[in-house]
Amino acid sequence: MKTDFQTSPAPAFRLDLAGRYRKGTLWSTVFLAITLLSVFFLATLIWTIVNDSFGYVILVNETDPASLARDGKALEALDAAGLTAVLEENLPGRRLRSLSNEKPLAERSRDDLYSVVMDEVVNPEVKAAFDLSESVLAKETILQTLEEDYPEGDLIFRAWLNRGFLGAAQSSVAIAAGVRGAILGTLMTILVTIVIAFPIGIGAAIFLEEYAVDNRLNRFIRINIYNLAGVPSIIYGMLGLALFVRLAEPFTSGTLFGAVADPTTANGRTVLSAGLTLALLILPVIIINAQEALRAVPGMLRQSSLAVGATKWQTVWHHVLPASFDRILTGTVLAISRAIGETAPLVVVGASTFLSQDPTSVFSKFTTLPIQIYQWTARPQEEFRRIAAAAILVLLILMLSLNAIAIVLRNRIRTKKRLSR
Amino acid sequence: MQHGQYKEEMTGTLNLARRSRPWEQAIQAFLFFCAAVSILTTLGIVITLGTESWTFFNHVSPLEFFFTFEWQPTIEQFGIWPLFTATFMTSLAAMVIALPLGLGVAIYLSEYAPNAVRETLKPVLEVLAGIPTVVYGYFALTVVTPFLRNVFGQDRVDVYNTLSAGLVMGILILPLVSSMCEDALSSVPNSLREAAYAMGATKLELSLNIMVPSAFSGIAAAFILGLSRAVGETMIVALAAGAGPNLTLNPFKAAETMTGHIVRISGGDIGYDTIDYQSLFAIALVLFFVTLGLNVLSRRIIRKYGEVYE
């Protein structure tokens, strides 16, 4: 028995160093490759969006702008009267009347008339849109397509993300569409969200960290907040739809305050409802982050404040909050950038599918950037994919600048804290 | 007299803690209200989902809802299984990507990576986690789907398919899984690591035979939380998985998930108090309980494994 054990060592004790090291090197390469793969994903994602936002397009005009020149002036140089004349000559009476019904031609500005002429008379149509890599690498093929299929078309290099795109309102034509309304909608919605969620979130965190005794109710509140943080965002959309859009309709539509010109068409699908829904959505995240920030404040600070006779609230307001504010701010900004990118709950709450007017108050109907991206991406035409990509760029830049502002603010607060010490 | 007054002030000072301070109390009440908003939110979710689902289940029996296999609101067929299988397919694909990759990234970052590399890679993962899901949806539809169609054949792979949505969802969830796995790995006590090295283990043997089993419960928790995210994820499936319930387990076919269905129907013009409207709340209720169950399970596992090393 004893000899048996000595002559046949268990396979687990086999040394085979070279083989084990080889296996080790192999797997460390695998782990590295996996990690680099995630970097690759991010790079591909960003490249795709940039690639799709720029490139050649083939445009075919219904009417050649050169043929619309009047009195020796090119179309672009015409004044309001000239443009009105162009419209009256080229459009059927029925279309003219419906345009006048929207707003009489005589009252329209020169730029407005020009865009009407471009949309209605010149009516450029995107026949083909190429991405950036195609435009750079395969220009010959593009030129060939142009000659063979669209001899009357123009080939122009278009940055889909341009100033016109940022400034233009929504349109059913991709080349004329813009994100002005969506940007305004996003900003207004987020403003409502911040105004509601920031104070309540920090208040809740202060209560849980500084005031709450360890009893069953407070333990339940804590667990509940963690559970809420894991609820899918679309459920919040359902809550917003039932609670803010339907139940609180007089309040969220503004009819309660008489803030709406025409109460018969007003409904609860407004900026206010959207903002409130997003506020509920990011509250748990804000609370959890703020709790962590408050927990990081040393207890000494509280004790010394209480020891010189400050009340609890004075301690919190004058010492604990200032000491943790940079962290609270960072956490809040993270939560807000999440809210900016949220789409699903707002679709459920009822973002408008087509919005020709900019939102003017919290009682306006709304659309936001992510929703615009969703709607454009869902359309099959190539050119809508292009403006979706451009809108994604706008969204990412917006989120990035928000984060940058937060970092600057945080550093400024930190320096101040250090100086006062 | 003067002496008495002084004494009274003294006792007053001594009783300072009992002096009523309306302002302080008002603030405390407000702070409590802030914390209570979270409870009200939960109540709101349960009540709204519950009441609408209640009216729905008065029309459609729960038996039909859970045990029939066709979802066609136009002919009043409400069997949740087609939506369920689609959710299952996308979540499965997502986890097949997210778990091995997330674990691999976590092992690399916690065991192999030099500090400088870790410092640069972690922000990359955070950025990946911070990108809005609608952007991932765009990515799935414009990059991953054409890629799959080129690889597997145009006629075998639909323009909308659950595989593409699921794979991209895996990329979305990867950072969550990897950061939770990394936390789990780094909370394994150093003594275990030192003991393994002292026994002559290689780095790989340490990682796979000691660290991963020791952190297993944390990794399981990460997996379950990731799964919960996948089940509740909406925009990627709404854009890439398809618009129309379809009972299939073929990942190349279009099929609508629970979340995708809610978004598509509520995004259109839908009348309140119709059976369609109420059916959405019934789906949402199922979704709520599934994700809640997964989250609670995940946290329970974490709490348990926290006790092992304390």
Residues in chain A predicted with pLDDT less than 70, given as ranges, are: 1-14, 259-265, 356, 417-421
The answer on pLDDT for B132 being more than 80 is: yes
Chain A with chain B: Cβ pairs closer than 8 A:
242
CA A207/CA A211 separation, integer angstroms: 5
Longest dimension (CA), chain A: 115
**CB proximity under 8 Å: A 313-342 to B:** 313, 334, 337-338, 340-342
pLDDT at A406: 81
CA A197/CA A332 separation, integer angstroms: 9
Query: Is residue A208 located within the same domain as residue A80?
Result: no
Instruction: Kindly determine whether residue A48 and residue B142, on different chains, have CB atoms separated by under 8 Å.
Output: yes
pLDDT at B17: 58
Candidates A28, A207, A370; nearest CB to B31? A207
> Model confidence over B144-191: pLDDT tens digits?
999 999 999 888 888 899 999 999 999 999 999 999 999 889 888 889
User: What's chain B's average pLDDT?
Assistant: 87
Instruction: Kindly determine whether residue A32 and residue B108, on different chains, have CB atoms separated by under 8 Å.
Output: yes
Instruction: Kindly determine whether residue A204 and residue B37, on different chains, have CB atoms separated by under 8 Å.
Output: yes
CATH of the domain at A392: 1.10.3720.10
Query: Is residue A208 located within the same domain as residue A150?
Result: no
Amino acid present at B204: L
Mutate to test the interface with B, among A16, A25, A38, A402 (most CBs of B within 10 A): A38
The answer on pLDDT for B99 being more than 50 is: yes
Most confidently modeled range among A259-263, B213-217, B272-276: B213-217
Question: What ipTM score was computed for the predicted complex, to two decimals?
Answer: 0.89
CA A154/CA A42 separation, integer angstroms: 35
Instruction: Kindly determine whether residue A224 and residue B39, on different chains, have CB atoms separated by under 8 Å.
Output: yes
Residue B127, H or E segment: helix B115-130
A94 lies in some domain = yes
Instruction: Kindly determine whether residue A31 and residue B104, on different chains, have CB atoms separated by under 8 Å.
Output: yes
Most confidently modeled range among A125-134, B14-23, B122-131: B122-131
Beta-carbon contacts of residue A73 (< 8 Å; ≥ 6 apart): A82
Domain that holds residue A77: 52-156
Dihedral sign for Cα atoms in the order A13, A18, A19, A23? positive
Q: Beta-carbon neighbour count of residue B299 at 10 Å?
A: 17
A147 lies in some domain = yes
pLDDT at A236: 95
Using an 8 Å Cβ cutoff, are A222 and A204 in contact?
Answer: no
Using an 8 Å Cβ cutoff, are A96 and A87 in contact?
Answer: yes
Mean pLDDT calculated for residue range B215-226: 91
Total number of domains constituting chain A = 2
- List, in sequence order, the alpha helices (H) in A241-270: 249-252
Closest chain A residue by Cα to residue B23:
A313
DSSP A59-95: EEESS-GGGG-BTTB-GGG--HHHHHHHHHHHS-HHH
Q: Where are the domains positioned within chain B?
A: 2-59, 71-308
A123 lies in some domain = yes
A98 lies in some domain = yes
Most confidently modeled range among A87-101, A342-356, B84-98, B117-131: B84-98
Using an 8 Å Cβ cutoff, are A344 and A410 in contact?
Answer: no
pLDDT at A295: 92
Candidates B134, B175, B291; nearest CB to A370? B134
The answer on pLDDT for B102 being more than 90 is: yes
Q: What is the pTM of this model?
A: 0.87
Q: Is A50 an interface residue toward B (CB < 8 Å)? A: no
Burial letters B199-216, b for 16+ CB under 10 A, else e: eebbbbbbbbebbbebbe
> Model confidence over B21-42: pLDDT tens digits?
888 899 999 999 999 999 999 9
Instruction: Kindly determine whether residue B34 and residue A207, on different chains, have CB atoms separated by under 8 Å.
Output: yes
Domain boundary among the residues A106, A121, A156 is at A156
Closest chain B residue by Cα to residue A282:
B38
Domain boundary among the residues A156, A171, A197 is at A156
Query: Is residue A266 located within the same domain as residue A300?
Result: yes
Instruction: Kindly determine whether residue A234 and residue B139, on different chains, have CB atoms separated by under 8 Å.
Output: no
A165 lies in some domain = no
Instruction: Kindly determine whether residue B27 and residue A42, on different chains, have CB atoms separated by under 8 Å.
Output: no
Using an 8 Å Cβ cutoff, are B132 and A388 in contact?
Answer: no
Q: Which residue has the higher pLDDT, A107 or B98?
A: B98
Measured between CA atoms, how close is A26 to chain B, in angstroms?
Answer: 9
CATH topology of domain B71-308: MetI-like fold (1.10.3720)
Query: Is residue A73 located within the same domain as residue A222?
Result: no
Q: Which two tokens stand for residue B262?
A: 């809610």
Distance of CA B105 to the CA centre of its chain: 20
